[in-house]
């Protein structure tokens, strides 16, 4: 059963927006945040660091000093992607600098060691960004947040969220193209450009209401 709640009037821009709560607690009750004293929409979670509930919370990122969620997830994906591309070009160019110093110096010097250490650090950064890109690429294709991915083990322990063949079910998985558009916007030209594509006045994918894969949702309910 879906419970429809009206948004707090302090959060609106004049237009009333209702949202439903389909996700429940383990006891079957509505998800309520004791810190914010509000009911939590689906896919939202309270961040202890930011001390507030974040819509469609993905994770808290210490590198940017903020939570990654509904309003800035696309920008985070863009940051990780272009950061990896830049680090790749940088390491390709810097490799020749290190080679030149090795030939030029001929002996180990403080300058040579400093450049080699920095080059090694940049390679580690590139590898780290590559891992982030792979993970979030998979997350976008499956329309799944990091927080939802980390909760898979909890569902697995309760035997929830799997079909009869043991395949994991995700009620937000709408298909690859629709999943990408929900996360990066409707216009493919803007997917890799840091341009805000969120539409908070839309009925769906507005941070409060998200389209469901009806078949998967039905299978999840049956598995509980």
Residues of the chain above pLDDT 90, percent: 39
Say which residues have a Cβ less than 8 Å from residue 72's Cβ, sequence separation at least 6: 66
Residue 5 has pLDDT above 60, yes or no: no
More confident site: 30 or 201: 30
Burial class of residue 146 in the structure, from the number of CB atoms within 10 Å of its CB (0-12 exposed, 13-18 middle, 19+ buried): middle
Cβ–Cβ under 8 Å, residues 164 and 170: no
Average pLDDT over residues 106-131: 88
Given this model, what pLDDT does residue 153 score? Answer: 62
Rounded to whole angstroms, the Cα distance separating 105 from 42 reads 60
Task: Give 51-88 pLDDT, tens digit per residue.
Answer: 999 999 999 999 888 999 999 999 999 999 999 999 99
Q: Which of 33, 36, 50, 61 is catalytic?
A: 61
47 is catalytic: no
Tell me what pLDDT residue 10 has.
39
Q: How far apart are CA 172 and CA 183, in angstroms?
A: 12
Tell me how far apart the alpha carbons of residues 13 and 202 are, in angstroms, rounded to a whole number: 13
Residue, of 204 and 61, whose pLDDT is higher = 61
Residue (of 192, 167, 175, 154) closest to 23 by Cα position: 154
């Amino acid at each position: 059963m879906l419970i429809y709640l009206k948004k707090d009037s302090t959060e609106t821009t004049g237009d009333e927006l209702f949202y439903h709560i389909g996700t429940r607690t383990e006891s079957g009750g509505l998800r309520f945040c004791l810190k914010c004293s509000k009911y939590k929409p689906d896919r939202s979670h309270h961040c202890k660091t930011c001390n507030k509930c974040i819509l469609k919370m993905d994770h808290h990122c210490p590198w940017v000093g903020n939570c990654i969620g509904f309003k800035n997830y696309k920008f985070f994906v863009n940051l990780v992607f272009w950061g990896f591309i830049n680090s790749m070009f940088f390491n390709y160019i810097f490799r020749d600098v290190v080679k030149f110093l090795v030939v030029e110096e001929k002996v180990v010097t403080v300058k040579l060691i400093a450049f080699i250490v920095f080059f090694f650090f940049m390679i580690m950064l590139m590898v780290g960004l590559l891992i982030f890109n792979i993970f979030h690429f998979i997350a976008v294709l499956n329309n799944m947040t990091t927080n939802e991915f980390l909760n898979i083990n909890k569902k697995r322990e309760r035997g929830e969220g799997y079909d009869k063949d043991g395949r994991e079910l995700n009620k937000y998985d709408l298909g690859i193209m629709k999943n990408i558009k929900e996360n990066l916007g409707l216009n493919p030209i803007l997917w890799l450009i840091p341009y805000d594509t969120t539409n908070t006045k839309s009925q769906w994918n507005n941070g409060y209401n998200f389209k469901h894969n009806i078949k998967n949702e039905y299978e999840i309910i049956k598995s509980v």
